Amino acid sequence: MKLEVFENSEIVDIEVAKKIIHVIKEKPNALICIAGGDTPKGVFKQLIDAQKNNCCDFKEVSFISLDEWVGISDETPGSCKQTLYDGLYTPLNLKESQIHFFNGKAESMIDECKQMDKIVAEHDGIDFVLLGIGMNGHLGFNEPGTNTKNSSVLQLSPTTKEVSVKYFNKELPLRYGITLGMSQLTQAKNIVLMATSEKKREIVNLTFRGEKTNQVPSSLMQGTHAILCVDEEAGRDIK
C-alpha cells in the first residue's frame, strides 16, 4: 500500500478526483465504485465540476455501489443510495442503465448479492474503487473479524451502529449491511483508501502501520497496490 499525504482535505479531494478521471480517460467504459459516507463528498464535487468543464465524459462509465444498510433504500435520507444519487449520479445526469446499486430492501438479499457479483464479473472486475475507512477499519460493511470474498450480508458492529447516527440524525434499528466482498475490493485494478481529519488519525495509523489482520479490515490492503490518500491531520502519525 502506498501512502500519499496532502496538506488539507480539499487537496485530497482534488487529487483523488484526478485519479478517477485518469482511469475514465484510459477506459471510457470503466466500472467505478465510490463509497457513500461523508469522506468522498468533496470528490463528488470535483467530478461534477470536471464534467461541467468538459474535462471528463461519464457517458459510458458504469457505477456500482459499495454497500447499503439492510432495511432501507433511497427513500431514507442518509442511505448510501440517496447519498450517491443526490451527491453524484443525478448531478452527473447518468442514465439508470449506468448505475448498479444494492437494494437494501430487496426481498432476497442472496439474490441481491448474486446480481452484484454477476455485474462485477461481467465487467471483468472493478476498474476503480474509492473507499472511506470506518472508525473501526471497516471497508464497505466488511466489519472487523470478517474476510469475505464476494458480496455478502454482514452483521453491523457496535461501532458502525453508533456512527450511523451521524447519517440519519437518530439511531435506526439497523442490524445488517450488504456489501461488496473484500476480495472484490482488493482485486480492483485501482484502489484508493481515503481518510481525512483528526478523528481518522488512529485508524489510519492502524491501517498503514498496524498488524495486517481481519480485525482491522483496512489493514488487509497492506501488500496490495492500494493508495492511501490522507490529509495531514489524518496522517500525522504515519508521515
* Residues classed as catalytic: 67, 136, 138, 143
DSSP character at residue 194: E
Q: With CB under 6 A, what is the number of residues at the site for ligand PGA? A: 8
Question: C-alpha cell of 90?
Answer: 443525478
Listed ranges 34-42, 53-61, 69-77, 87-95: which one lies at the site for ligand PGA (CB under 6 A): 34-42
Q: Which of 42, 87, 104, 132 binds ligand PGA (CB under 6 A)?
A: 132
32: helix, strand or coil: strand
Question: Is position 142 an interface residue for ligand PGA (rule: CB under 6 A)?
Answer: no
Smallest CA-to-CA distance from 33 within 160, 106, 146, 139 is with 139
Minimum distance, C-beta of residue 35 to ligand PGA, in the bound complex (Å): 6
Compute and round to an integer the Cα radius of gyration of the chain.
16
Minimum distance, C-beta of residue 67 to ligand PGA, in the bound complex (Å): 8
Question: Is position 83 an interface residue for ligand PGA (rule: CB under 6 A)?
Answer: no
Instruction: Pick between residue 62 and residue 160 the one whose CB is nearest to ligand PGA.
Output: 160
Minimum distance, C-beta of residue 23 to ligand PGA, in the bound complex (Å): 21
Give me the phi and psi of 154, to 5 degrees please.
-130, 150
Task: For residue 161, give Cα distances in angstroms to 6, 10, 43, 173, 175.
Answer: 30, 28, 25, 9, 8
Minimum distance, C-beta of residue 204 to ligand PGA, in the bound complex (Å): 11
Site string for ligand PGA, 36-55 (x = CB under 6 A): -xxx----------------
Diameter of the chain measured on Cα atoms: 46
Which residues are within 8 A (CB) of 162 and not within 5 positions of it... i.e. 6 or more apart?
none
Listed ranges 32-40, 89-97, 105-113, 181-189: which one lies at the site for ligand PGA (CB under 6 A): 32-40
Question: Is position 134 an interface residue for ligand PGA (rule: CB under 6 A)?
Answer: yes
Instruction: Pick between residue 114 and residue 175 the one whose CB is nearest to ligand PGA.
Output: 175
Which residues are within 8 A (CB) of 178 and not within 5 positions of it... i.e. 6 or more apart?
67, 68, 70, 102, 104, 109, 112, 113, 141, 151, 152, 153
Q: Which residues bind ligand PGA (CB under 6 A)?
A: 35, 37-39, 132-134, 138
